[in-house]
Structure 1
Amino acid sequence: MTEEDRNSIKNLIYLCSKHHEEIDKINPDKYSAENLRKMKEDHERRVDNACYSCVGFPELEAVTEYIINSRKTAMTDDTQNEFDKIRLSEKIELNHLTECDHDMIENALQRAYLVKRFIEERAQMDSDFPAMLKAGFREHYYALFLRGKRGHDLFEGMCGYVKRPFLDECGKQYAAQAVLAYLFEACDIFERR
């Protein structure tokens, strides 16, 4: 393992000083790398589940309004098509996303039913809402694509785009990820080359 890999966020596990000493000095043989990775994954999953539970309609409204209002160009007929679908695993593979991206999408999709319901309810008040949301999403995707972003870098750019205005608001950041994951799964944008 290189020094960079050893110190990467994927490899690090944050512990209190008591458990740090227990694992590294007192009983290092008791904790295999595999066991520690599983402990870390289980903990991160519990934290994500707890955080996604604070996503509701107010958070989704803030995120979707940001995406819609950040559009610079008018909608085209292409952006007004219905959402298309291919299998999620195919789309992840097609886009060369990392295991970390896959985990984020899987976790965020726990709230997909809420995002879908929110979009459907907003569409009853404003029939253009789904198309405007898709157009804002598509516009930023293409801007990143034209700058040469692909795979993980492109997906990370999309995550940064939807989370940027909500850096101090945890619930809205998770709502942003839920909207992005929903659109990643439901929209054909990540299927095109």
Structure 2
Amino acid sequence: MGASYPTKIILAFRSGGICAFPKCGKHLTYDAKVGDDAHIGEAAHICGEKPGAARYDASMTDEQRDNVRNLIYLCTDHHTIIDKVEADWPVSELQALKESHEKQVRQAMEEAFADVAFPELQTAVSWVSNQTPAGNGSFDLTAPDEKIKKNELSNGARHIIAAGLTSRATVAAYVEAEAQLDSDFPERLKAGFLEQYYGLRKQGHKGDELFELMCDFAQRGMRRQADRTAGIAVLIYLFEICDVFEK
């Protein structure tokens, strides 16, 4: 069956768009000349996808095999290595590698919130100038805890939101400064996120899955950690103050 496209996007987000193989560090995002950038990493199965595949476990269901918990984000070369040299890469080793890599990515993101400043925010929302202002929604403040419960988000999402809220004053000041130059800026900013949010909702995504897909969208293929984190800081700012996520 294979992992779904949204699952691959979530895996890429958790991996920071970087190959998880030790000392590889390859950025697996293609900078598109037209349209959105593309994730080009591979969602490698830890326990094989089908009989005969490396580390195949007959006791698993197809859903379990294609779940993000059984996938590790790799470049083509290292995906080939773990499957061709199976003895060197048992399930326990790959699970530990995945956990360590994704933990490092999350820690780097959370630590970078403290350094979010106007230059990074400008890069993160450079797409806004081409966005049509939003025609619906609101900018009403909602308590984060209330919104987290409403959207059925886990502690993992809660930690990202809590870390992101440390940048709230900086993001608010940036949005206010931009609005002085362009009164439609806040509405265009909101519009871009709302369009993506409602599109994902229509596809049936919700909870943590929806949150992580929105985080990936907020990063828009950016490679620098500071810029990637700034994109998520903007998302969390909107999470608190408008209709991006249910209130």
TM over 0.5: yes
In structure 1, the residue matched to 2:203 is 147
SS of 1:153's equivalent?
helix
1:70–1:136 contact (8 Å) kept in structure 2: no
Aligned residue runs from structure 1 range 14-29, under 5 A: none
Paired residue for 2:235, among 170, 180, 187?
180
Residue 158, structure 1, aligned to residue 214, structure 2: yes
Aligned residue runs from structure 1 range 63-102, under 5 A: 63-66=124-127, 68=128, 71=131, 74-79=132-137, 81=138, 83-102=139-158
In structure 2, the residue matched to 1:105 is 161
Count, aligned residues: 156
Residue type of the alignment partner of 2:141: K
Deviation at 1:53, TM superposition (A): 3.0
Structure 1's unaligned 5+ residue stretches are: 15-39
Q: Give the percent of matched residue pairs that are identical in Structure 1 and Structure 2.
A: 35
Deviation at 1:54, TM superposition (A): 2.8
In structure 1, the residue matched to 2:173 is 117
The CA distance in 2 between the partners of 1:189 and 1:53, in whole Å, is 23
In structure 2, the residue matched to 1:20 is none
Residue type of the alignment partner of 1:65: S
Label 1:101 to 1:8 Cα distance change in 2 as closer, same or farther (>3 A).
Answer: farther
Deviation at 1:62, TM superposition (A): 1.5
Deviation at 1:86, TM superposition (A): 2.0
In structure 1, the residue matched to 2:122 is 61
Deviation at 1:48, TM superposition (A): 4.9
The CA distance in 1 between the partners of 2:196 and 2:154, in whole Å, is 21
SS of 1:96's equivalent?
coil
The CA distance in 2 between the partners of 1:149 and 1:70, in whole Å, is 26
2:133–2:188 contact (8 Å) kept in structure 1: yes
The CA distance in 2 between the partners of 1:63 and 1:162, in whole Å, is 8
Structure 2's unaligned 5+ residue stretches are: 1-68, 71-91
The CA distance in 1 between the partners of 2:96 and 2:233, in whole Å, is 25
Residue type of the alignment partner of 2:221: P
TM-score (norm: length of structure 2): 0.56
TM-score (norm: length of structure 1): 0.70
CA shift digits 1:4-29 (9 cap, x unpaired): 6984789x458xxxxxxxxxxxxxxx
Paired residue for 1:137, among 193, 207, 214?
193
Higher RCO (CA 8 Å, separation ≥ 6 residues): 1
The CA distance in 1 between the partners of 2:113 and 2:231, in whole Å, is 10
2:121–2:230 contact (8 Å) kept in structure 1: yes
Structure with more strand by fraction: 2
Note the aligned Cα RMSD (angstroms).
2.8
